Amino acid sequence: MGKISTYKSIAILIGFPKSSRAVASILSKNFDPKIPCHRVVRSDGFVGGYNRGGSRQKAKLLRVEGVLIKDNRIDLKKFSI
The per-residue DSSP string of the chain comes to: ---BEEHHHHHHHTT-TT-HHHHHHHHHT---TTS-GGGEE-TTSB----TTTHHHHHHHHHHHTT--EETTEE-HHHHB-
Catalytic residue among 27, 37, 40, 47: 37
37 has catalytic annotation:
yes
- Residues 31, 2: Cα–Cα separation, whole Å: 20
Active site residues: 37
